């Protein structure tokens, strides 16, 4: 069995106010943070966890988040850096369908999209305050139609991906486990990856954007259910302790800058 | 039947960041806003809707909210301005038990506290992120003990108020109706008051802190359930339209400055 290799793909950065990162806590002022994908070259498939943001979409719909993404940081270029092509990807593991986590799903029409069933159901009809977060569902025209209350056509369905809709913790492949961390969104997944000769890595996703969220037990300001989101902070601590895992936060520049990025791997 | 008189009691002011008033929208920067009580001299009783904040408590526990309250703005002095004594109050109508809405409940041990049953139940065991909001339960030592996980003594119960715990819309007295607007807190009530010869007044409570919350359909950043809180914005619009009511927002300085205050009345 070949050893698992894990690549961090740099997808550029966004900047939002500190009150959005630390709910009701701040302090205010812009915080620029990284957006990245995780490519896992595994005996059982080529998995990608999250796919960052689509630059033109962000520039059009949410320019206030000040998106920065060089051509080298676009997802196909990043995958090439790791030595693969987009069509090699077998599974897209989705933390959730917010704009900065599924913007590149469209590059993998051949892959199975693994998502929490609640996330899929919720993205079909998000409440008003989440409409912008779910604005980039271009990877699934049928889902996009449902969100907008439009009837999809047969050809729309033809262009939609195949899904594996799940709930609870799910070991997708040996040592690659989706960890249910609800609250930030309706169906949010963190990801635990076991690697040979080193501690497992627990990718928090937006259950904890930075170490300070966990230290202060303060969730991010974008959320659907603050009680569940707070429970998910505790869940991350528990899973980390149980597995002796190293935490990789979703949006923290100081840590991100120290990580190995593709073509290097873990 | 004597005509209802409605007094606005000026309870001072607080200042919080704009991202706390307009969830994920801002802009940032301090917004100073009024805190007030509504005293209703009614044929069926003397009602007070909310009781502002307790200055020493705020200064001790949440000085960051920059509380300002002159001696004249303390609740007993305000009630005197309207020509009453605290012991004249028959019912405390509670929008919710957050620190800046129940800080003066303790002045009315003889009154019946009318609260949403969910609010009472929730204040007994608030989640971590709401602990500071429910930090001033001094009006009810038994509830305070429950919040802190302490066993209350018999004398503790002796000092707790009598409650009327309700749910749904409730007409407490003729033309004085609690309007259920959940989401900001577990059991939140707005208040509709009919007055002779003028439009009814709909006090939003924290279901909408300012007119801009309603215009933009953006809830405040302190909330328990953002979906219900957004529905409550719609509810306010509906109730306003049905009754031709004038909206009095909970925390908006420009409007507050134009209102009549005690000893004047509506």
Burial B75-91 (b: 16+ CB within 10 A, else e): beebbebbebebebbbb
Count of structural domains within chain A? 1
- B226 with A129: Cβ contact below 8 A: yes
Q: Decide if pLDDT at B124 tops 90.
A: yes
DSSP code string of B137-176: -TT-HHHHHHHTTPPPPHHHHHTSPEEEEE-S-EEEETTE
Question: Is pLDDT of B157 > 80?
Answer: no
- Cβ of A129 and B218 within 8 Å? yes
Q: What is the mean pLDDT of residues A160-167?
A: 96
User: Is the residue at B170 inside a domain?
Assistant: yes
Joined together, the tokens standing for residue B150 give 């302490």
The beta-carbon neighbor of A23 closest among B221, B224, B225 is B221
The model's confidence at residue A159, banded by pLDDT at 50, 70 and 90, is: confident
- Establish if B28 belongs to a structural domain: yes
Could you tell me the two tokens for A136? 């980039």
**Which residue of chain B is at minimal alpha-carbon distance from A183?**
B225
Is A243 a domain residue? no
Q: What is the pLDDT of residue A211?
A: 98
pLDDT at B191: 98
Helix and strand tally (H, E) in chain B?
9, 11
Q: Is A41 a catalytic residue?
A: no
Query: Residue B238 above 90 pLDDT?
Result: yes
Q: What is the pLDDT of residue B36?
A: 98
CB pair distance less than 8 Å for B24 and A225: no
Q: How many CB atoms lie within 10 A of CB B175?
A: 17
Say whether residue B244 is in contact with chain A using an 8 A CB cutoff. Answer: no
Between B157 and A62, name the one with better pLDDT: A62
Q: Nearest by CB to A17, which of B26, B127, B230? A: B26
Q: With an 8 Å Cβ cutoff, is A26 touching chain B?
A: yes
Q: Which residue has the tokens 């405390």?
A: B92
CA-based nearest residue to B32, from B59, B12, B61, B62: B12
Q: Is residue A208 part of a domain?
A: no
Q: Is B198 exposed, middle or buried (0-12, 13-18, 19+ CB in 10 A)?
A: exposed
pLDDT per residue as tens digits for the range B241-265: 999 999 999 999 999 999 999 999 9
Chain B residues touching A219 at Cβ < 8 A: 129
What does the pLDDT read at residue B45?
98
- Helix boundaries (H) for chain B: 18-21, 55-61, 75-81, 117-123, 141-147, 154-158, 211-216, 226-243, 253-258
Contacts of B19 in chain A (CB under 8 A): 17, 19-20, 26, 28, 221
Q: Is A227 within a domain?
A: no
Question: How distant, in Å, are the alpha carbons of A91, A112, A236, A240, B227 from that of A39?
Answer: 10, 15, 21, 21, 34
- Interface predicted TM-score (ipTM) of this complex, two decimals: 0.91
Q: What percent of chain B has pLDDT over 90?
A: 95
- Residue A140, phi then psi, degrees to nearest 5: -140, 90
- pLDDT score, position B243: 98
**Which helix (H) or strand (E) element contains residue B92?**
strand B91-93
Out of B41, B50, B65, B100, the active site residue is B100
pLDDT at position A48 is 98
> Does the CB of A88 have a partner CB in chain B at under 8 Å?
no
Domain span at residue B126? 5-258
Task: Identify whether the C-beta of residue A138 lies closer than 8 Å to the C-beta of residue A54.
Answer: yes
Report the residue from A29, A128, A227 with minimal CB separation from B127: A227
| Burial of residue B57 (number of CB atoms within 10 Å: 0-12, 13-18, 19+) | middle
Question: Quick one: pLDDT band at residue B159, thresholds 50, 70, 90?
Answer: confident
Q: For the segment B36-65, what is each residue's pLDDT rounded down to a tens digit?
A: 999 999 999 999 999 999 999 999 999 999
Q: What's the pLDDT score for residue B154?
A: 76
**Chain A contact for B132 (CB, 8 A cutoff):** no
Q: Note the pLDDT of residue A151.
A: 86
From CA B207, how far away is CA B138, in angstroms rounded? Answer: 24
| Percent of chain B surpassing pLDDT 70 | 100
- Tokens representing A211 are 């170490």
Catalytic residue among A65, A100, A136, A140: A100
Q: Do A128 and B230 touch (CB under 8 A)?
A: yes
Q: What is the mean pLDDT of residues A108-136?
A: 97
- DSSP strands (E only) in B186-228: 189-193, 201-203
Q: For residue B265, tell me if it sits in a domain.
A: no
Task: Note whether B19 contacts A: Cβ–Cβ < 8 A.
Answer: yes
Residue A152's pLDDT is 79
Flag whether pLDDT at B155 surpasses 90. Answer: no
Model confidence band, residue B133 (pLDDT cutoffs 50, 70, 90):
very high
Give the nearest chain A residue to B21 (CA atoms). Answer: A24
B82 at interface of A, judged by CB pairs closer than 8 A: no
Residue B266 within any structural domain of the chain: no
Q: Give B219 to chain A, closest Cα distance, Å.
A: 9
Q: What is the pLDDT of residues A39-52, one digit of tens each?
A: 999 999 999 999 99
Q: Is the pTM of this model over 0.90?
A: yes
Contact between B238 and B190 (Cβ < 8 Å): no
Q: What is the pLDDT of residue A154?
A: 76
| Closest residue of chain B to A229, computed from CA coordinates | B129
What part of B 111-130 touches A (C-beta under 8 Å)? 127-129
- CA–CA min distance B20, chain A (Å): 6
CA–CA distance, B233 with B160 (Å, rounded to integer): 33
Distance CA B173, CA B258 (A): 28
The average pLDDT across A242-251 equals 98
Cα–Cα–Cα angle for A216, A219, A224, nearest 5°? Answer: 165
A219–chain B nearest CA distance, Å: 9
At A85-105, the pLDDT tens digits run: 999 999 999 999 999 999 999
Residue A157 pLDDT more than 90?
Answer: no
CATH number for the domain including A151?
3.60.15.10
HSE-CB for B257 with a 13 A CA cutoff = 5
Point out which residues pair with B249 in neighbouring strands: none
Instruction: Quote the CA–CA distance of B66 and B16 in Å, as a whole number.
Output: 8
User: Is B32:B256 a contact under the CB 8 Å cutoff?
Assistant: no
Within a domain: A25:
yes
Residue A234 touches chain B, beta carbons under 8 Å = no
Task: Answer yes or no: do B129 and A226 touch at CB < 8 A.
Answer: yes
pLDDT at A234: 98
Say what the pLDDT of residue B60 is.
Answer: 97
Interval B4-21 mean pLDDT: 98
Q: Closest Cα of chain A to B223: distance in Å?
A: 8
Structure confidence at residue A2 (pLDDT): 87
């Amino acid at each position: 069995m070949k050893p698992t290799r894990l690549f961090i793909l740099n997808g550029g950065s966004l900047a939002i106010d500190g009150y959005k990162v630390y709910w009701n806590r701040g302090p205010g002022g812009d915080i620029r943070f990284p957006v990245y994908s995780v490519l896992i070259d595994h005996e059982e498939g080529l998995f990608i966890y999250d796919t960052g943001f689509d630059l033109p979409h962000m520039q059009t719909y949410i320019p206030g988040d000040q998106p920065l993404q060089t051509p080298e940081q676009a997802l196909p270029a990043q995958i090439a850096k790791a030595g693969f092509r987009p069509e090699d990807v077998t599974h897209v593991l989705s933390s959730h369908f917010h704009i900065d986590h599924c913007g590149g799903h469209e590059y993998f029409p051949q892959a199975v999209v693994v998502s929490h069933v609640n996330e899929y159901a919720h993205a079909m009809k998000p409440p008003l305050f989440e409409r912008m977060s779910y604005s980039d569902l271009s990877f699934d025209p049928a889902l996009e139609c449902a969100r907008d209350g439009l009837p999809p056509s047969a050809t729309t369905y033809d262009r939609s991906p195949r899904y594996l809709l799940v709930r609870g913790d799910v070991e997708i492949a040996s040592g690659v486990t989706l960890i249910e961390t609800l609250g930030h969104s309706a169906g949010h997944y963190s990801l635990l990856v076991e690697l040979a000769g080193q501690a497992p890595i627990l990718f928090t996703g937006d259950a904890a954007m930075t170490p300070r969220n966990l230290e202060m037990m303060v969730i991010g300001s974008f959320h659907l259910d603050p009680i569940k989101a707070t429970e998910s902070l505790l869940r991350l601590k528990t899973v980390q302790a149980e597995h002796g895992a190293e935490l990789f936060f979703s949006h923290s520049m100081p840590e991100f800058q120290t990580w190995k990025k593709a073509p290097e791997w873990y």
